[in-house]
Structure 1
Amino acid sequence: MSVAPQSVGRRERNKQHKLDRITAAAAELFAEHGVDEVTTQQIADKADIGTGTLFLYAKTKGELLLLVQNSSYADALAKGRTAAEAIPDIFDAVMAIIRPVVECNRKQIDNGRTYLREIVFGDPEEPQHRDALGLSVRTEAAIVDVLMRDPRLEHRNAATLAHIVSAIMFLSMAATINISKSVDEILAEISEQIYLLLPIGGTRRSAH
């Protein structure tokens, strides 16, 4: 017997509703207490589901953090891309993409650093890790789009530069030495490195 389309649609809506509840519960608890101080049982209780159901959506607390942070990262990247489109200067446009990503990552410092660690060391085949890696790729693509405004750059070189810019951003956010630094201080550190890296920097050094 075939399954009625209405039943399939209702089942998918129920799954999405549970996922939304899990994400909201994890986001609130992680923001209030930090990922290390929250248990999966607390998240399940707050989402009003059983732990068995919770593990159907995320098998570990790390995956739950990825679920939460990926959503915030995606919003931050969209904000940065929109801001960059309105900024003609290439260097400033690249920094416009980076700023909301850094702000997002530093809302809860321990959570942000754990998120970066999960991206680097997690299983790339696991859906939440795969989505996080995809966001990194999309970040580099956004930077490439900005760099390609410079007619001197070939796409291959722009892609290499974007990859280095992404590495600078991630290392600055993850570095233990930067734990106590503010968003603006981290952005200043990133800015100095990118300014020297990008070929357009040489045309603007007299202004710095």
Structure 2
Amino acid sequence: MTGDNTVRNNLVKDEPDLASMGLRERKKLIRLQRIVAAARKLFIDKGFTTTTIQDIAVEADVGLGTLYLYAKSKEDLLVLVFKDDILKMIDESYAGIAPGEPLLDQLMAFFEGHISYHMKDQTLSRTVLKELSFSTTEQRRKDIDQIMNSTYAKLMKLIERARRDGRVQKELYTGTMAWSTFALYYHLLQGYLCGFHTEEEFRKSLRNALAALLD
């Protein structure tokens, strides 16, 4: 079981160093990659609700017992499948921010990357966000923590840099501000994905809310 967890953690790397791994570990990593690829395909093509664990096992050509070594539930597997995509999106959103711009514009640029990502498949995004909101297992908590830690780290860097450069006049508590900005975005994103706001209303409300927070 420990070996499976080690291999599972290696998946967060874009290109695992297979040469440095033993034969047993390589086989486990390849099996995990097959499971993740099968789950991703079925979640996208068939939908999360109608896809079963058995479907994924068959698609990945593994037994149910083997699959459960990597994910305890379909919900845990969903988060595992899309975690790396989300982490990559967070990094790319941060990298695309223009330096020296007003903090409000930088925050909007950061969240714009998130918005674009979730607009690609809104039905699946609703399901992913639901599972990200409820960490009912240790495995899911670890995956969610990794996503949130990356998000807050980027937001805190933006806020700290703006404070240091004198682009913010208001006294800000970096951690609280990072949490508050993400909470506003996340709340409005849920409303948009559930059909309570149009895309235009979503962006306008987010900008206005962030502006009020910074004033």
TM-score by length of 1: 0.80
Go from structure 1 to structure 2 and tell me whether the alpha carbon gap of 1:153 and 1:10 turns closer, same or farther (over 3 Å shift).
farther
Q: Which has the higher helix share?
A: 1
1:36 aligns to what SS in structure 2? coil
Structure 1 counterpart of 2:105, from 92, 103, 106: 92
Give the Cα–Cα distance (whole angstroms) in 2 for the partners of residues 177 and 75 of structure 1.
21
Structure 1: which 5+ residue stretches go unaligned? 1-5, 200-208
Amino acid at match of 1:163: W
% identical equivalent positions: 29
Structure 2: which 5+ residue stretches go unaligned? 1-18
Amino acid at match of 2:205: E
Go from structure 1 to structure 2 and tell me whether the alpha carbon gap of 1:186 and 1:31 turns closer, same or farther (over 3 Å shift).
farther
Structure 1 counterpart of 2:37, from 17, 24, 43: 24
Give the Cα–Cα distance (whole angstroms) in 2 for the partners of residues 42 and 88 of structure 1.
50
Say yes or no: does 1:167 pair with 2:152.
no
Go from structure 1 to structure 2 and tell me whether the alpha carbon gap of 1:133 and 1:182 turns closer, same or farther (over 3 Å shift).
farther
Which 10-residue stretch deviates more, 68-77 or 91-100? 91-100
Please say if residues 91 and 195 of structure 1, whose CA atoms lie closer than 8 Å, have aligned partners that are also in contact: yes
What's the C-alpha RMSD, in Å, of the aligned pairs?
Answer: 2.5
Please say if residues 48 and 124 of structure 2, whose CA atoms lie closer than 8 Å, have aligned partners that are also in contact: yes
Give the Cα–Cα distance (whole angstroms) in 2 for the partners of residues 102 and 177 of structure 1.
10
Name segments (4+ residues, structure 1) moved above 4 Å.
180-185
Instruction: Give the structure 2 partner of residue 195 of structure 1.
Output: 211
Give the Cα–Cα distance (whole angstroms) in 2 for the partners of residues 11 and 184 of structure 1.
52
1:38 aligns to what SS in structure 2? coil
Give the Cα–Cα distance (whole angstroms) in 2 for the partners of residues 142 and 102 of structure 1.
16
2:148 aligns to what SS in structure 1? helix
